[in-house]
Structure 1
Amino acid sequence: MKLDLQNIPRRKDLSKEEFLQEYFIPKKPVVIEDLTKNWPAYKKWSFEYFREKAGEVVVPLYDGKPAKGRQNSHGVAKKIPFKEYIDILEQGPTDLRMFFFNLLKNCPELLEDFEYPDLGVKFFKKLPVLFVGGEGSKVVMHYDMDLANNFHFNFVGEKKVILYPPDQTGLIYKVPYSIVSMEIIDMDDPDLEKYPALAQAKGFETRLKHGDALYIPSHWWHFIKYETASLSMTLRSLPKSPKQIAEVLNNLLFMRNYDNLMRKLKGQKWIDHKNEIAIKRTHKNAGIE
């Protein structure tokens, strides 16, 4: 058994009308290979460039260890100057990652290196964010709490991306009161005997190289493995429908706070309980005894 994954389409010279009709409106992912070719970032963005431009900025780093006991999810592992983090990346594999780093707030001059694409989409311009990871680091399968449409631009290194649409949620071991699948599952090499429902789920995959832009539709699940040390940027388009806005508010105001409260009250028992429910629900959905 193996995961049922098809390649994400790759396009060049994609017009605004084609993007909207073929991908954005039907909510289908696509890799646009030439969207960044005229940006200064296409040629300039490298680890050395960021060492020069943002080396003194202190950045929060996260590791691949799941939160345990009474820890809040997604706690910061350490904070160091960006240039020291780049040194770590260049020394070899590491699970240290930097994510959702606000360029506008921390390095405003870098905003001159890119432009918001003319794709017929309204971007949330207050939050261009940087994602950096070491060779071999992985991001657990999840969807974004704010249900944004993501445009993910890769500039340094290579990364593997696996996507699942929302209608496959019942088969990928979603953890209750969260936006993640079970963190113990390595989607790069999952144990399909232990987690057999994954073999039934139908997803997509791609490998992003220099200059590639990946459109990830709202509410789509994504797993990322950094094949090499990599640097990417995401531009976001926020949801507009009342139903989606209500779900975002529930995620931010209730679900996340309730989960963290229960972690503090019950510790590891709460995490184990949620994982048990995830397995039971998923196997029921998949018709597995």
Structure 2
Amino acid sequence: MNISKQIPIVDATKITRKEFESTYLRPQKPVILRGLWKQYPAYDKWTMDYFKQSMGDIEVELFSSKQANPSETLKVAHAKMRFDKYLDLIEKEPTDLRLFLFPVFKHKPELIKDFGYPKITGRYLKIPFMFFGPAGSITRMHQDIDLSNVFLTQFAGKKRVVLFAPDQSELLYRLPFNVHSTVDIDNPDYDTYPGLKFAEGCTGLLEHGDTLFMPSGYWHHIEYVEGGFGLSVRTLGASIGTIVKGGFNVTIRRKFDDLMRAMFDQKWFNYKKKIAFKRAEKAMQKVNKNNGGNSQPAYN
């Protein structure tokens, strides 16, 4: 597995909308936009202390990747806690509990005034979410089911991000009917998952004020290097086909997967894993054929 390639970083104040859309959006290439949110009050205003003081008394639902079923989307919370106590926890103590897809604006609507939707592109889905996590916690590798483009901005702490393009899905052992994989890219098991030897991705580090543009369908593995939080806004997929497929994933494919899992549980999971391994084997054969029959990965 090769993830040595770095996600490019550009100064958001020096790139035009035309340049961004021609270089990154239309070709669907990831980039870190440094300082994109400097134009908004949230850039300096949103801190741990600010959220503790302004909405610390609300109860939040927390999720643990360690306790999660690897074959399904996290839906049922593993713990509940006052928001200010949780923020204290992720600043000071080790924990695996994360707060994700948090609709903070439902609890404090006036926060909407602290930010906008950068004019670097358009077609925003104006449903922003926040993500909070402690140092060392992991967001397991997955694709976003709606296949939207994502702008993920970091406000506190640091995150390590590893991305893989959608064309790497088979080599990453994507489970059919959903958007997950069972591989651990931090500790790759090449004996069990030989396709990982051929997978190629890229890596980046998000710090305060950095915005990651993550194109539609990109696999992402995120590690909180420090306790902190970020916010994501989305835009429609780059093509009509992508938009339709994303809608199908959300409305039909996920419901079918949920139904089959409820009916067959482990048998369904094992069936999906079997398909994933068959697809990975075909993908490896294709790579080998493209490499002139060389059984080794295409990089040194």
TM-score, structure 1 normalization? 0.91
Q: 1:72 to 1:148 in 2, by over 3 A?
A: closer
**Matched residues in 1 for 2:265 and 2:161: separation?**
32
Contact 2:71 2:181 in 1 (8 A): no
Answer yes or no: is 1:106 the counterpart of 2:104.
no
Specify the alignment match of 1:44 in structure 2.
45
Equivalent of 1:227, from 218, 225, 228? Answer: 225
**Matched residues in 1 for 2:261 and 2:68: separation?**
10
Deviation at 1:211, TM superposition (A): 0.7
Structure 1: gaps spanning 5 or more residues = none
**Matched residues in 1 for 2:184 and 2:67: separation?**
12
Specify the alignment match of 1:7 in structure 2.
6
Q: 1:146 to 1:83 in 2, by over 3 A?
A: same
Q: Residues 234-279 of structure 1: CA distance to partner in whole angstroms, max 9, x if unpaired?
A: 0111237442232123212221111111221122222232223212
Equivalent of 2:216, from 211, 218, 221? Answer: 218
Does the residue aligned with 1:38 lie in a helix, a strand or coil? Answer: coil
The alignment's C-alpha RMSD in Å is 2.2
Does the residue aligned with 1:124 lie in a helix, a strand or coil? Answer: strand
Q: Which amino acid aligns with 2:265?
A: G
Q: 1:68 to 1:251 in 2, by over 3 A?
A: same
Deviation at 1:118, TM superposition (A): 1.0
Specify the alignment match of 1:153 in structure 2.
153
Specify the alignment match of 1:96 in structure 2.
97
TM-score, structure 2 normalization? 0.88
Contact 1:69 1:263 in 2 (8 A): no
Does the residue aligned with 2:76 lie in a helix, a strand or coil? Answer: coil
Contact 1:69 1:268 in 2 (8 A): no
Q: Residues 125-182 of structure 1: CA distance to partner in whole angstroms, max 9, x if unpaired?
A: 2x11101111111111111111111000001111111111111112111011111111
Worse-superposed segment, 53-62 or 223-232: 53-62
Q: 1:3 to 1:241 in 2, by over 3 A?
A: closer
Does the residue aligned with 1:136 lie in a helix, a strand or coil? Answer: coil
Specify the alignment match of 2:298 in structure 1.
none
Equivalent of 1:250, from 245, 248, 258? Answer: 248
**Matched residues in 2 for 1:69 and 1:244: separation?**
25
Q: Which amino acid aligns with 2:174?
A: K
Contact 1:70 1:266 in 2 (8 A): no
Deviation at 1:281, TM superposition (A): 1.8
Structure 2: gaps spanning 5 or more residues = 289-294, 296-300
Does the residue aligned with 1:80 lie in a helix, a strand or coil? Answer: strand
Identity value in percent: 38
**Matched residues in 2 for 1:118 and 1:144: separation?**
23
The equivalences for 1:180-219 within 5 A come to 180-182=180-182, 185-219=183-217
How many matched pairs? 285
Specify the alignment match of 2:261 in structure 1.
263
